[in-house]
Chain A
Amino acid sequence: MVTRKSTKNLKLFVDTNLSIPMFVVLIIFCFILMGIDSRYSLTKKIRKDFIIFTAPVYSIVNFPSKLYNKNLNIFAFKEILIEENIRLKKKLYASELANQTIITLKSENETLRNKLNLKKKYLFVNIDSEIIRPSTKVNQRIITINKGRNDYVKEGSAVINNFGLIGQIYNVYDNSSEVTSLISDQFGVPAMLETGLQNSILYGDGKNLIIPFSSVYNKIYIGDIYVTSGLDKIYPKGIKIGRVASITPTSDKQFVKIIIIPFTRPETSAQITIITPTGLRK
């Protein structure tokens, strides 16, 4: 005897248990979650609360490189160590020489500022840290460092090394932090030429830094060096950023596009310094 099948339970296909209403509900829920997350940064908050699950992953990922670096010290040849020692001594001597003139310049600067009654300077605190892998997170250039909230690291602090600016602290956990690289699409920094002229904002484009529209009449040449201007009070003034590599015309004849190659990349150095503004100096 043939019986009629009930059509109450709407299904996509006869041989599966996928249901259309459930699929639609879940897709709508996904969009709602995306909207809420982009507005309230839910993922960041959840990751901070569930750091206990993500921290072991970082430990496992970093373990081989840590083991390698530890054992490398054991097996380093004596001659290589002596050579490195001599090279470092020379570097230290040159730094000390440069430091002597910097101290004089600094005190002259202070005297002039006081005489001219210029704006009060911001104080910055330096925190030394190390880059721990991974250096990318799902195709985003985010660097992880081994200092966090417990070491008084703040979100938005600048990160530099001995060559120049590396990026900005983007996310702070208890014992680690994430840094957005200066070449990331989401990075921007107010800058000026080393001569103190031509204030601009440099943006990351995934490869280098760019000034998308700079006036044709600006006196900027290939080889010029950009440093932080300090106008935003986040980056101290004078930190090296990069060198102008090319100046290309844009569709608008009044403007040119400037490409700046940064002096440093996260891969060049493991040692970094975090600079946190602490407020105005009295």
Chain B
Amino acid sequence: MKIISKKDNSFLVLLFILSLILSHLNIFSLMERSTNPEYFIAFGALMISSKLIHTGLIKLFILGLIIDVFIGIILGQYAFSLLIMLVFHKIYNHYFSVISEEHKSVLQFFTILIGIICLELVGVSNLGKSLNFINIILIFIFTFLTLYFFQFLRKVFTYLNFG
């Protein structure tokens, strides 16, 4: 059990570093606006939904602050978004039993949507950014695809480590 959790932790660390590097690359830039996916929102959604480690409020809050220091526009932006995502995830799980893979995808869909909306709201209220709905939709689509990519990486990592 300890070995499994150590390997899960190392996968999370690698994924964190990958998200950090990808966040600084301008891969997706459409219509003269940057529509880079929110890699850390996808990372947070994966962490919360797959229960790789015990995701408590304080852990997620500290993780959010670390992300804010690296790439956040304002301190507390990602911390706030991740906390809301976790609580939404718990509320959803409490009222709907999420068993099938399709239902898990729906839950991840809404978790990511909530995370991106929280980020945009913080940007609008603190930085005077304007809400561009097309931008938000594009970022959401790319973030959701990123989540699938991260899940694929997890499967590859698990296969390489455990055969």
A-side residues, CB < 8 A to B, are 12-13, 15-19, 22-23, 26-27, 29-34, 36-38, 42-43, 46-47, 50, 53-54, 57-58, 60-61, 133-141, 185, 206-207
Complex Cα–Cα for A27 and B94 (A) = 21
Residues of B within 8 A of A18 (CB): 56-57, 86-87, 90
- Could you say which of A33, A58, A61 contacts B75, with CB atoms under 8 Å apart? A33
What residue in chain B is nearest A33 (Cβ atoms)? B76
Complex Cα–Cα for A34 and B65 (A) = 11
A58-B24 in contact (CB<8A)? yes
Residue B8, interface by CB 8 Å = no
A43-B69 in contact (CB<8A)? yes
B36-A43 in contact (CB<8A)? no
Q: A18-B57, A33-B79 are in contact. Are A43 and B90 (CB under 8 A)?
A: no
How many B residues face the partner with a CB closer than 8 A? 42
B-side residues, CB < 8 A to A, are 20-21, 23-26, 29, 32-36, 56-58, 61, 65, 68-77, 79-80, 83, 86-87, 90-91, 94, 122, 126-130, 139
Residues of B within 8 A of A15 (CB): 94
Residues of A within 8 A of B61 (CB): 26, 29-30
Complex Cα–Cα for A254 and B118 (A) = 39
23 pairs of residues in contact across A and B, judged by CB atoms under 8 Å: A12-B91, A16-B90, A22-B57, A26-B57, A26-B79, A27-B80, A30-B79, A31-B80, A33-B79, A34-B77, A38-B126, A43-B72, A43-B73, A46-B75, A53-B70, A134-B25, A134-B26, A136-B29, A137-B71, A139-B35, A139-B36, A185-B129, A207-B32
Complex Cα–Cα for A251 and B80 (A) = 39
Residues of B within 8 A of A30 (CB): 61, 76, 79-80, 83
How far in angstroms is the closest Cβ of chain B from A55?
A: 12
Closest 9 CB pairs of A and B: A33-B76, A134-B24, A37-B75, A30-B76, A30-B80, A34-B76, A136-B26, A136-B34, A139-B34
B69-A50 in contact (CB<8A)? yes
Given contacts A46-B75, A138-B23, 11 further A-B contacts (CB under 8 A): A12-B87, A12-B94, A19-B57, A37-B76, A38-B126, A38-B127, A43-B74, A47-B69, A133-B24, A136-B34, A207-B32
Q: A12-B90, A27-B80 are in contact. Are A133 and B139 (CB under 8 A)?
A: no
Q: A23-B57, A61-B25, A135-B26 are in contact. Are A206 and B33 (CB under 8 A)?
A: yes
B25-A133 in contact (CB<8A)? yes
Complex Cα–Cα for A60 and B29 (A) = 21
Residues of B within 8 A of A12 (CB): 87, 90-91, 94
Residues of A within 8 A of B24 (CB): 57-58, 61, 133-134, 137
How far in angstroms is the closest Cβ of chain A from B119?
A: 9
A138-B71 in contact (CB<8A)? yes
- Could you say which of B26, B65, B74 contacts A38, with CB atoms under 8 Å apart? B74
A13-B90 in contact (CB<8A)? yes
How far in angstroms is the closest Cβ of chain B from A195?
A: 29
How far in angstroms is the closest Cβ of chain A from B26?
A: 4
Q: A34-B77, A185-B129 are in contact. Are A13 and B94 (CB under 8 A)?
A: yes
Residues of A within 8 A of B76 (CB): 29-34, 37
How far in angstroms is the closest Cβ of chain A from B112?
A: 16
What residue in chain A is nearest B130 (Cβ atoms)? A185
Residues of A within 8 A of B34 (CB): 136, 139-141
How far in angstroms is the closest Cβ of chain A from B50?
A: 16
